A = this chain, B = another copy of it.
Amino acid sequence: MLEKRQPIPVSEAVHRVMDYAFQAKKEFVPLSQAYGRFIAEDIVADHDVPAFDRSPYDGYAIRSIDSQEASSAQPAIFQVVGEIGAGFVYEDEVGYGQAVRIMTGAPIPKGCDAVVMLELTQTFVEHQQTFMSIKRAFTAGTNISYKGEDVQQHTVLIERGQYINPGVMALLATFGYAQVPVFRKLVVGVIATGSELLEPEESLQPGKIRNSNAYMIMAQIERTGAEVRYFGKFSDDLDLCIRIVEKALQEVDILLTTGGVSVGDYDYLPAIYQAIDAKVLFNKVAMRPGSVTTVAARNDQLLFGLSGNPSACYVGFELFVRPIIRTAFGNQQPHVRREQAILGADFTKPNPFTRFVRARAYYENGQLVAVPSGFDKSSAVSSLASANAFIVLPGGSRGYEKDMQVAVLLLEDLRGSEWPWNTIEKSYR
């Protein structure tokens, strides 16, 4: 008996998945391993930066008042009373007509209020005492990096859920995070289905294809920041498949399968969901590619049944799996980055389903333009390599023409988006 499936809008499908969103546990990693993770606490400055008034240059620290009469004809002469390297503190107070040789980063000695760059000074020695002369006056504050000018104590520098980039690393080091609180990486299981699948090391055989989805999706999981556990390929024995899924669910946070979600007799996923008592959240989405994408939940644990077609599988991951992973990392912009772009090609034929066209987005004089990145069937594999975006063409009775403004989803943008669907589809909630 042929099952009748009712397609639901993309936004509604994402909503149903996001109802199961959860947060990963916190763990600590050494700073040197924190790059690319998501921070699990707000990072607050526990001290000013700089922590003290310091010199941004090599030169001489002086009291500016002592330079007021200086000129080329009559240089001001200072007695050099000491020198101070970065990391050291000059303990004495500097008095009238005195100067301290100071290195980049060293604290300004007491009494001084200006630094003269080395290049602007001349030195000479008399009776074993070093003197320094300058040919012009300097105002108070010249060449001083003031305490707190960069960061003030108590400032929230990085919010929980933020991606740790190189600049964040610098802040973590500055504030003493030798161990960094990050969200534990989700473990995402992957199982491929399909008796036509060969592994990459196997030779081609009539009627068979190599399993490209599993490797593609492993990279998508990594790109999103989670960890992969690959369970290989389903066998043709349904009972064995059920046992594999049961076992996998105990080892992973979420489980992805590719293929096996069509209505065909050989597609095991519906039977497996039933056997393990998983609730199917949807099994048909009004989108192309990926309309057969199925998501089920068993005891709050999500099972994503992605299409066996490469392009459909790819799109399904980015729309439905990515926001679950990024939400687990506390990120406030868990969805694929959404922007406006100029459409670089005609799509004159209307389609009742919302289309996600694999695309190359680029700039023309700073303006974002998106063109299809190649062959556009859901089975296409060639158009994915050069895709850095999806062009979103909402379903309906109209086509789209070159130079129209359209929504695009930018796959390589680190920032992500808050809920991106409101203006793309009519909201259903």
A: which residues have CB within 8 A of B? Answer: 2, 31-32, 35-36, 47, 49-52, 56-58, 83, 85-89, 101, 103-107, 118-119, 145, 149-151, 157-158, 164-178, 194-197, 199-204, 206-220, 222-223, 228, 230, 262-267, 308-310, 314, 339-342, 363, 365-368, 375, 377-388, 405, 412-415
Contact = CB atoms under 8 A, between A and B. Distances in A.
B377 A150 contact: yes
B174 A58 contact: no
10 contacts: A49-B382, A56-B378, A56-B379, A88-B207, A106-B196, A145-B377, A150-B375, A158-B385, A170-B314, A366-B405
A3 to B, nearest CB: 10
A342 B366 contact: yes
A56 B51 CA distance: 65
Contacts of A150: 375, 377, 379-382
A32 B230 contact: yes
A36 to B, nearest CB: 7
A194 B87 contact: yes
A323 B214 CA distance: 32
A167 B387 contact: yes
Nearest to A149: B375
A310 B56 CA distance: 12
A375 B167 CA distance: 13
Given A212-B173, A219-B35, A366-B339, A385 B165 contact: yes
Nearest to A214: B173
Instruction: Please indicate which of the listed interface residues A31, A215, A405 has the most CB atoms of chain B within 10 Å of its own CB.
Output: A215
A138 to B, nearest CB: 18
Contacts of A377: 56, 145, 149-150
Given A56-B377, A150-B375, A166-B219, A86 B200 contact: no
Contacts of A158: 385
B363 A219 contact: no
A411 to B, nearest CB: 8
Given A89-B207, A170-B310, 17 more contacts: A35-B223, A85-B195, A118-B264, A149-B377, A151-B382, A164-B219, A165-B219, A165-B223, A166-B217, A170-B212, A170-B381, A173-B214, A174-B209, A365-B405, A366-B368, A412-B413, A412-B414
Contacts of A368: 363, 366-368
Contacts of A378: 56
A331 B215 CA distance: 23
A20 B199 CA distance: 41
A194 B105 contact: yes
A196 B164 CA distance: 25
A200 B382 CA distance: 46
A197 to B, nearest CB: 7
Nearest to A194: B86
Contacts of A194: 86-87, 105
Contacts of A201: 176, 178
Contact of A262 (B104, B157, B173, B215): B104
B167 A384 contact: yes
Contacts of A47: 204
Contact of A366 (B49, B56, B340): B340
A118 to B, nearest CB: 6
Nearest to A155: B382
Contacts of A341: 366
A270 to B, nearest CB: 13
Contacts of A375: 149-150
Contacts of A36: 219, 222
B381 A215 contact: no
Contacts of A310: 170
